[in-house]
Each structure stands twice: as structure tokens, then as C-alpha cells.
Amino acid sequence: MDRNRLQQAIQASQEYLLQQQQPEGYWWADLESNVTMLAEVILLHKIWQLEDRLPWGKAEQFFRQQQQNHGGWELFRGDGGDLSTSVEAYLGLRLLGVPADDPALLKAKSFILAKGGISQTRVFTKMHLALIGAYDWRGVPSIPPWIMLLPGEAPFSIYDMSSWARGSTVPLLIVFDEKPVYRLDPQISLDELYSEGVAAASFELPRTGDWSDGFVELDNLFKWGEQLNLVPFREEGLKAAEDWVIERQEASGDWGGIIPAMLNSMLALRSLKYELGDPIVERGFEAIARFGVETDDTYWVQPCVSPVWDTAWVVRSLVESGVLPDDSRIVKGANWLLSQQILDYGDWRVKNKTGEPGGWAFEFDNRFYPDLDDSAVVVMALNQTQLPQPEKTQAAVKRGVAWMLSMQCQNGGWAAFDVDNDKEWLNALPYSDLKATIDPPTADVTARILEMAAELETGGPETPLQQYAKQFERALAYLLGEQEKDGSWFGRWGVNYIYGTSGALSALALITPEQHRPALERGANWLLAVQNADGGWGETCLSYDHPRFKGEGDSTASQTAWALLGLMAVAKVLDSGASLAWQQAIERGITYLIETQQSDGTWDESWFTGTGFPSHFYLRYDYYRLYFPLLALGRYRQMS
């Protein structure tokens, strides 16, 4: 490898990222998902009669740009089009005044009908259609308000739902109870999107032919009770839900830092007859507006924002690629991260009675939901910096590590937000058609905690690995047990097996690697087996649904970097007969990154390599194409 070319690539990337730092010290880039966010924001503004608050023309242009040649809209690039996403995009255009006979909508209609029409869409799409009378509330699952009164220690409570599901569901208890139908001006109908014809549409909940059909019968019972006004503790449950929603609004107006929870909370306030001008309502709309992205031509909405995540990874990539750990820009970014530590008790406290707060969240404002993945990356970033007051950093790191360790699940792994949030039967509820109602431990988050513990130098007599040896033995056993037969690991929060395998190898290589030699070699060899001919790596979101796509896809900068990080971690610690092959693969991967880097120090990447809910919701982090390649290049320079 030409050292001059390597240094030039690193320097160009560093310079670009340093130019992107915000005056407050953080880094933050756009986070893209799909057009349903925009459609639902438009619907909310229509319901609240706030037509003047959004750039409607630019929103229409965005919908039109995102429509594919087949007529539909995608969950991720190249997925062939998604039914529910396409129905909501169609709804968004109709809400913007586009007539049903517009050529774009006629094309969309054909796509939607061929996919089964409205009756085959997901629950949340049907719920949004029901709000304007385009779908019957009978086809939306009931959620009895009295579940709000169940304590956390009960066999089931709202705290058995994942944080994202909880934040979105509690406000819907209020909406689903009222079942409002808002008359818009002008009123629109989507009758043309029923494949079977709206007159023949059935609003029965779908059945699967197995034990989960019992939940459909239970839902019928709930609906019967609603019709007869025999819902026990209804008023008490609704009041508890209202109080819960109000309590969890941040001063900035956010709820959970995610658009679904924010939109559903605003729908709940509308159902509760809150008025425009109420500070709670105004803060809510101001928060939603901050998630919007307006360009010269388009307007779209992010599902969430990622400043803490982006900043921590940028700091790590800059320091590991050679920027001094006491550089003023690094110090500024690290101090901003320190300021974001959450010292309030959140929902995690319900299942974790002993832990003390100390984690970090993904977003600017999300004090109720710090997460393990962000917290671990922040701690690693802080550990690599040199701040003027090291004792302040050490205290924050110590609090963060203690909180993370208190969040370990019974099986030894870590989940994203909660402890033992793993009741699988919740994903079988009719309401749970996204299969994302729980937050069980995952290999990628567990690997991140292990990597953090191995990297950490506390300055005391023992490292976290030594101090909490039994906890980490259980974590290692869990992680090793998650390795698949071919040597890979599943990636829950990144696409997919390349992400999961990289994280697992990066952790195991730091912890008694000789003891884990077989697992490390199998993982590294799997990465070798899926390297593309151009030297890079790529994997599409299709691998979540079809095993044949595992590790397959056009090369991307971020996924190439992940593979390189995993391979370099193993090659650095193992002297193996396969080491020459690993080294050659690493050289080819580094060459791919250098040759595909653009003149401004960036990489071009349009693919979605982030995961929200496997099979249902994907993300494109704009900075993934920047800091992960830089981190890989920096580590390569260190080991070469």
C-alpha cells in the first residue's frame, strides 16, 4: 500500500469532517428513512388545520422524486416497492391536493392494487387511514386503556413493550378509544385502492391459523365491550395514559426523540381536545418541525436525529486516524458529549431497580430513554480524548459503565434500551405486525459493551473486565452462542451480517483472543468469503428476509469499513495459517476505499445500511459513509 496515498485519503477525510463540526461542538447529519414519515406529518397538520406551517409544494416534489418506475415507493433502495409505504405516499399526495387522475397516482394505484390494496397494509397505515374515514376502525386492533394501570411487576404491563413501541402505543390508547374520524377540507376518499372493491372489503383482523388467532378472538371481545360501554377502568386508564404522555414530553417538545411517538402523542392531544396555543401542543409542533429537512426543491422528514451517535463516532474516527486527543476540536466535541449524559431516571428504572442513571441517548433530548449502544460508543470516544479536567471525564465514564452493567439481561446479553424486554408472544398480537414490540438482547449491542470494557483504562487497580469478571463471562458466553454455523453474527441495528460480524470480532479480539481462536477464525473467514470482486463489501436489507442475500450486495463504503474493522481486529491478534489471506483481503479493501474516495474526502453511498426494524424499517445515516471509512483507514495505518 502506498503510504502517501493512504495519508492523503486520511487527511482529506479528516479535513472534511472537521469542517462539519457545529459551533456547539457536535457533529450531526441527516437520517433518512422512507416517505411515510412525511405523509404522517402532513396528515397530522391537516387534522390540526395547520396547512400554512409546511412547504406543501416542496413536499409534493419529494413524493414525486421518490416514486419508482414501477409506481410504488420503497422501504430501502432497490426493494421493488413496499405496499404500506406506497399507500401512505399516495395518501400524502392526495392530502396535498393532487387529484386521483394524476398520472403519478394512476401509476401508484396500479402498483398498490397489484400488491393487494389497502386491506393488506400494516396496522399503522390502516390506523392513519381510519383517522380520515378511508378505512374502518373495526379493522384496527383494540387496545384497552386499563393496561395503563397494570404495574411493572405484573405478568404484562406497558413496560414489557420496547421503548419505541411503548412511546408510540400509550398515546394510541387514547386515540384508539375515541376512534376519531376527521373531516378534512376537501374530504378525500381512497376507495379506489381496495383491490376487492370497498363494498366487498372485510375489516376482520387477519388470522394466521395458529395459536396466535386466540388474540383475534380476544380483540373481538374487547370490541364487544367497547360497543356495550363495558370497558373496565376506562376513565382511569385514559387519565393515566394522558398523564404518562404529558410527563414524557421533553422541554424541547420531543417525545422519545422519534417521530412516531411524537406524532401519536399529538394525535392523542387532539383526541383529548387540547387547543392550539396550549404550550404542550406548540412545543410538540416545534419539535416535529425540527425533524424536517428543507432544500431548494424538496421537503422531507427524518424519523429521528442522531447527534450523540454521530459525534461519538466522529471523535473516535478522528483520534484513531491521527488527530491529537487534546486537539481543541476534539476537546470541544468531547465536552459536548459530556454535557449530554443523562442523570435522570427513565423508564428503564421499572425493570432495573438498582441501577443509577448515567447513560447517553441517541438524540438531543431524550432523558427517559438512554440506550446501551450510544452509551458504549460515547464512553469509548471519551476514553480516547484528553480533556483539561480528566477527573470530570473519569467520573462520567464511571457512571456510564455502572449504568450499562446494571442493564445486563438474564441471558448475559444486552438489549438497546431495557432489561429482559423479551416476551416473544407480544410480537404475535394483531397490533404487532411489525414484529418489533420487544427489545431483546442482541449480539451487536452486547459486542459493543464488551469492546468498550476491553478498551477502557480506568486508572484504577482493575479494569472493568477484571472488576466485573463474572458479568463479562456471561456476556462472552452469550455472544459466542449467537455465532451462526457459517461463522457470521446477525446484525440487529446495522445491515446486517457484515455489521454483526464486525462488531463481534472487534470485541472478541480484545478479550483473550487465543481462547476464542475458533470463533475468530470462522468469523474472519466468513468475511473473506463474501468480499466482492472490487475489493469492497456490501449487503442489502434483503438479507433480513432471504438467507441467499446474506453478505451479498454492491460494495459500500460503510460496509467495507465494517468488514475491514473486523478483519483487522482478528489479524492483529492471531498468528494463523489464514493470516496471509486475511491480510490480502484487508489490502484489497483498503485499496477499494482509497480508490472510491471523492476529491472532497467523502464517499458516495446511497444505500440504506442502518436498521430500525428488520424487514420493516431501514435507515440511511449520511455520516456512515464518512466516519467508518476513516476509522478503518486509521486503524490500517496503525497496524501496517
Query: Residue 185 has which C-alpha cell?
Result: 377540507
Nearest alpha carbon to residue 589 among 497, 510, 527: 527
Q: Are 338 and 382 in contact (CB under 8 A)?
A: yes
Lookup result for grid cell 402523542: 265
Q: Are 304 and 614 in contact (CB under 8 A)?
A: no
Q: Are 373 and 445 in contact (CB under 8 A)?
A: yes
Give the whole-angstrom CA distance, residue 376 versus residue 449.
6
**Catalytic hit among 347, 373, 420, 422:** 373
Identify the DSSP state of 300: E
Query: Residue 567 has which C-alpha cell?
Result: 478483519
Handedness of CA 406, 407, 413, 419 (dihedral sign): positive
* CA 522 remoteness from chain centre: 28
* Half-sphere exposure (Cβ direction) of 442: Cα atoms closer than 13 Å: 25
Give the whole-angstrom CA distance, residue 162 versus residue 140.
21
Query: Residue 260 has which C-alpha cell?
Result: 412516531
Give the whole-angstrom CA distance, residue 137 versus residue 449.
44
Give the whole-angstrom CA distance, residue 430 versus residue 71.
29
Give the whole-angstrom CA distance, residue 323 versus residue 55.
41
Residue 534 is a catalytic residue: no
Nearest alpha carbon to residue 315 among 640, 626, 3, 610: 626
Query: Residue 35 has which C-alpha cell?
Result: 416517505
- Residue 568: beta bridge partners? none
Q: Are 8 and 598 in contact (CB under 8 A)?
A: no
Give the whole-angstrom CA distance, residue 249 versus residue 506.
37
Helix (H, G, I), strand (E, B) or coil at 439: strand
Plot region of 442 (φ>0 → left; ψ -120 to 50 → alpha; else → beta): beta
The residue type at 55? P
Catalytic residues: 373
